[in-house]
Structure 1
Amino acid sequence: MIVPNPAPTMTLALCLAQARFHLLDWGVVAVYLVFTTVLGAKLAGKQATIRDFFLGGRKLPWWAVCGSTVATEISTATFVVVPAIAFAAGGNLTYLQLAIGSILARFVVGWYFVPRFYEQEIYSPYDYIGRRLGPRVKTVTTVLFLIGAVLGQGGRLFTAAFMVSIVADIDLVSAIWLMGAFSVLWAMLGGITMVIWTDVIQFTILLLGAVVALGFALHVVPGGPGEAIRLGREAGKFQFFDFSTDLSVRYTFWCGLLATTFSNLAAFGTDQVMAQRMFCCRDARDARRSIVWSSVSIGVALLMMLLGIALYAYFQHAPFTPEEAARYAAHQEYLLPIFIVRALPVGVRGLIVAAVLAAAVSTLESALAALSQTTAGPLMRRVSKWRGSADPGPRFQGELGLSKALVFAWGVVLCGMATACIGIARNYQNAIDLVLAFAGYTAGPLLGIFLLAFLKHPRDDRGLPWAVAVAVLAVFAVSVREQWGVHVVHAVVAVVAGLALLRTGFGWQHRLLIVLAITAAGALHWVDGNRFPQLMSSGVAFPWTYPLGTIITFGLGFALGRPRDAPTESQ
């Protein structure tokens, strides 16, 4: 337990005033931005076709794709919040148990998903789904991805801007839009090739920043690493495994083995923000190597956890001021910024902020490329039909221009979402909870649909709208604890379901199944620690929303669907 210093010698405001960004700090950040822009553009080269812009010509080396995957995965939420998880009262290394499912999921994606993706010339998992289940299902999955990406990536951008605004002493909204501007610039300059090469640079900066932050944290602890280890052991910070079966606990062995496997299958197999890189490799073998070797990202998470333990030792010897304690109590994300402005020298602060920018911009530019790709194809097909042009030359030029315009448009949308997160974040304990809670609504249903497409004999799509709706309702029911919200949703769903069932071609058995599924999904709101103390101490932890959404979508979609041959997109 950290006890505030009863007689502080310096308030946080004075500390910030004296530790504001020095000219050298700004110089470090400027060099990072200019160097990354110039080198990334040079390595990316010129994109002549839409295939170059979105697939990199399918000629990128696997190790670069791997580095890009890691850089995107290690978002600012990880860089800023993970140390706070280890630092907190009762915090320890149990967060790293999530790596079990993460690594397992990468092997499944590499050995089972990737070969399917490379059977044909496709740009996304949604193209694969469309060819297996039909264009209507592809549209559903694309919309689910767009919603999830805007919510999740907006939350990640907010987290990065939050830290940068504190350390660099600039307005939060300004930080959001400045970071968004650089992300848009890099994504527009060279498409996915630019994204991947800048990610490789940013992975290097990110890793260097993590090592430097840990090194300085251990250096400023009186007694050095030995003292940090001693204090960490006394506080139980080095506990790794938690075999609790309480569904309310977020970081347990069972959550890591089961729930996280589902979430990472969704992330690497069906989320275009991450999956788009697999389509850029020369062949399926290289794509498999890139996704499996990206497991090294666990090492970065370990570094950040150790940083949290080092910060715990540091603040035991140099406690929070009352103002610092109040800020930390309001938001865990203040921990690393407080340490940066208090303890790090000029120049090093700039390097750490550059690392945070690297984590943020890497994830954001990947999201922009993915959002642009998933919307450019359908829009361009409509434009081509309207023009009636069969000349591929103008079509390629039109697609390239439209793709870049969409990057800009989606950049504005994500910055707007990040700005909205300023108010939304007050309802969440930390930024990782915010981001993953957003993703839980769409990632599970997406994975469920993909698994249906993966079947040797796929089902038709008539049950999928119901399956997705029930899955989203179930996730909402276990995530939102305010009863008024659930009552409103129940009322709307009951009316819509009643009207829709009167018009469907389902038999009475299928109609009864839909009614029972909707009722059961809504009833999950009342599953908590008061009624089921043997299962949980409070509500269901957010990682379990991923298997919940997946199982409901797959099960109900399969039960309501009818066997049929896999259609092509043209059918």
Structure 2
Amino acid sequence: MLVDSSGMAAHAALSTLRLSYPDLLLVVLYLVAVTIFGLRFRSGDRSLKSYFLADQRIPWWAIALSIVAAETSTLTIISVPGVAYTGDWGFLQIVFGYLLGRIVVCFLFLPRYFRGELLTAYQVIGQRFGPRLHKLTAILFLFLRAAAEGVRVFAVSIVVGIAIGTPDIISIAIICALTLAYTLEGGMAAVIWTDVVQMILYLVGTIAGVLTLNRLIPGGWHAIHATAAGAGKLTIFHFAFHLSTAYTFWAGLIGGCFLTMASHGTDQLMVQRLLAARNLRESRLALLSSGLVILVQFVLFLAIGTGLYFFYSRFATGGAPSSADRVFPTFIVRQMPRGIAGMMVAAILAAAMSNLSAAVNSLSSSSMVDLYLQWKPAAGERHRIVASRVMTIFWAMLLFVLACVSRGDGHVVEVGLSIASVAYGALLGVFLLGTLSSETTESGAIVGMIGGFALNLFLWRQSRPIPLALGSIHIVLPIIAWTWFVVIGSLFTFALGWIASKLLPKAHRSR
């Protein structure tokens, strides 16, 4: 949970912030409307392909918007402006890496996913290596997605608590229950089409935030740009190479590329959407076009953060919120006109529901296909659908619990991404072994995966530089920034897996 440094005083101050009744009514109407819209896709699914891939009938543009909605959570909307508020536009360097990573995924991973009737990313690992690694990668994904999603779902309580005043648990429970309703009944079709609606809503809401700042600040964005540029707040590129600094050109381009290769190439949450496309060409088109939308979106988020810095440093009365992650939500409630404030809160809730529905559906599909059906391969289609729905309920309840116990001590966007980066390195390393090395064995890949995950876990928990002595050579291992986790973890997994395959008995060589 994000805790303000001012403790109870900050909480008391925030408790005075509430949306007006018309805005609250707008938020309630939105929640009801989007749930009813999602329930429209309720159908008697006859197969897992229908339930988890919407029979591969979704157009590419809808998948593109759904991808953006799935990777844009509440923590992104409230925390990325906070990054620009306290710093500059260096975060945009990572977005350039996101674009490069999408190109790699299109040509390295997607062709393999469209060879055969696949429902999850980890079935490719099973075909290439065998059942042990198939299950292990699926389990690692389940751990990764559940842990990261707990932080993301919790982020919504920051917004709801400021806007409405409900306790964290109540806020999270409302979002989880409504999202579960349409995800359970409508499957992947409901998830994607509600994502499209919610993506449009929070994009419009973000633009409304930009326009509101333009209205409140004398001179508008021209004045903001001139002042921010003079203060270095618009700096994008930092070319110094420091492993301990998250936002440099090299960390952004290389780290962002590897992070996207992992998140969009090995994470079932994204791969499931790409598999719902009609064919390989449309899947590639969806992924590449989503990158352009992401670029525009992050520019808007960072612009809002810069505008908020200018506003609170010169024009706001009562001072700025004590936490950067509360700056944008507080601005929405205090400064935005009636109707617009309600729409903005609804937009942030839309992001939360999009991300939660995506997570629940992907967790359900992977646990069903990669684990349950390995145990009960002869189960009939009716049994499979019922079991899938039970797993959907289970994962929704577990994410609710994890969100309630989430704790963080930095920008929540960085906490969420760093958790993901811990497991992504090992997952990506295994997929690269399966794609680029024909000599790797299943046992070797397992050794590499365990080693890569352990290394990333160590780097994540490292709290101070560590001095190392190699004979007369003395070096210091710095604290590694989260943007390098996937790069280091995947390369270490690949190298260790390849070496272990050479050393272990050849009887275990992969198929």
**Given the two structures, how large is their TM-score scaled by the length of structure 2?**
0.91
Letter in 2 for 1:439: A
Deviation at 1:39, TM superposition (A): 2.8
Distance 1:286 1:270 in 2: 19
Name the residue aligned to 1:208. Answer: 204
Q: 1:455 aligns with which of 427, 436, 457?
A: 436
Distance 1:532 1:332 in 2: 35
Relative distance call for 1:15 and 1:455 in structure 2 (3 A) is closer
Deviation at 1:37, TM superposition (A): 2.5
More deviation in 262-271 or 111-120? 111-120
TM alignment of 1:162-181, pairs within 5 A: 162-181=158-177
Unaligned runs of at least 5 residues, structure 2 = 1-9
Deviation per residue, 1:541-562 (Å, 9 max, x gap): 1111111110111111111115
Relative distance call for 1:274 and 1:527 in structure 2 (3 A) is farther
Letter in 2 for 1:475: N
Name the residue aligned to 1:304. Answer: 301
Deviation per residue, 1:126-169 (Å, 9 max, x gap): 00111001011101100110110011111111112222211221
For 1:93, what is the secondary structure of its paired residue?
coil
Name the residue aligned to 1:382. Answer: 375
TM alignment of 1:274-293, pairs within 5 A: 274-293=270-289
Name the residue aligned to 1:66. Answer: 64
Relative distance call for 1:456 and 1:478 in structure 2 (3 A) is closer
User: Are 2:419 and 1:438 aligned?
Assistant: yes
Distance 1:304 1:54 in 2: 32
Deviation at 1:463, TM superposition (A): 2.4
TM alignment of 1:81-480, pairs within 5 A: 81-88=79-86, 91-295=87-291, 296-319=293-316, 321=318, 324-325=320-321, 328=322, 331-377=323-369, 378-383=371-376, 395-421=380-406, 424-425=407-408, 428-455=409-436, 457-480=438-461
Relative distance call for 1:527 and 1:191 in structure 2 (3 A) is farther
- Asked if 1 retains the 8 angstrom alpha-carbon contact of 2:84 and 2:305, the reply is yes
User: Are 2:499 and 1:559 aligned?
Assistant: yes
Distance 1:289 1:38 in 2: 30
Distance 1:139 1:544 in 2: 27
- Asked if 2 retains the 8 angstrom alpha-carbon contact of 1:445 and 1:468, the reply is yes
Unaligned runs of at least 5 residues, structure 1 = 1-10, 390-394, 484-523
- Asked if 1 retains the 8 angstrom alpha-carbon contact of 2:73 and 2:352, the reply is yes
Relative distance call for 1:406 and 1:474 in structure 2 (3 A) is same
Q: How many residues align?
A: 493
Distance 1:237 1:46 in 2: 53
Deviation per residue, 1:40-61 (Å, 9 max, x gap): 3335655222110011101111
Relative distance call for 1:13 and 1:346 in structure 2 (3 A) is farther
Relative distance call for 1:115 and 1:482 in structure 2 (3 A) is closer
- Asked if 2 retains the 8 angstrom alpha-carbon contact of 1:262 and 1:546, the reply is yes
- Asked if 1 retains the 8 angstrom alpha-carbon contact of 2:113 and 2:124, the reply is yes
Distance 2:269 2:317 in 1: 39
Distance 2:189 2:146 in 1: 22
Deviation per residue, 1:82-120 (Å, 9 max, x gap): 1111111xx111110112211011111112211111111
Deviation at 1:15, TM superposition (A): 7.3
For 2:19, what is the secondary structure of its paired residue?
coil
- Asked if 2 retains the 8 angstrom alpha-carbon contact of 1:270 and 1:450, the reply is yes
Distance 2:338 2:224 in 1: 24
More deviation in 339-348 or 255-264? 339-348
- Asked if 2 retains the 8 angstrom alpha-carbon contact of 1:250 and 1:542, the reply is yes
Distance 1:58 1:98 in 2: 31
Deviation per residue, 1:292-347 (Å, 9 max, x gap): 1111211111101000111111112234636x55xx2xx32111122122211222
For 1:109, what is the secondary structure of its paired residue?
helix
- Asked if 1 retains the 8 angstrom alpha-carbon contact of 2:155 and 2:412, the reply is yes
Deviation at 1:220, TM superposition (A): 0.9
Q: 1:36 aligns with which of 30, 34, 37?
A: 34
Deviation at 1:473, TM superposition (A): 2.4
- Asked if 2 retains the 8 angstrom alpha-carbon contact of 1:66 and 1:293, the reply is yes
Q: 1:546 aligns with which of 474, 479, 486?
A: 486
- Cα RMSD, aligned residues only: 2.3
**Given the two structures, how large is their TM-score scaled by the length of structure 1?**
0.82
For 1:462, what is the secondary structure of its paired residue?
helix
Seq. identity, %: 29
Name the residue aligned to 1:495. Answer: none
Relative distance call for 1:420 and 1:12 in structure 2 (3 A) is closer
Letter in 2 for 1:448: G
Relative distance call for 1:350 and 1:135 in structure 2 (3 A) is same
- Asked if 2 retains the 8 angstrom alpha-carbon contact of 1:219 and 1:225, the reply is no
- Asked if 2 retains the 8 angstrom alpha-carbon contact of 1:81 and 1:430, the reply is yes
- Asked if 2 retains the 8 angstrom alpha-carbon contact of 1:79 and 1:304, the reply is yes
Deviation at 1:526, TM superposition (A): 4.3
Distance 1:396 1:234 in 2: 64
More deviation in 342-351 or 65-74? 342-351
Deviation per residue, 1:368-425 (Å, 9 max, x gap): 001000111232453455xxx6xxxxx111111111111110011111111111xx21
Distance 1:182 1:244 in 2: 46
Relative distance call for 1:477 and 1:50 in structure 2 (3 A) is closer
Letter in 2 for 1:298: L
Distance 1:288 1:81 in 2: 29
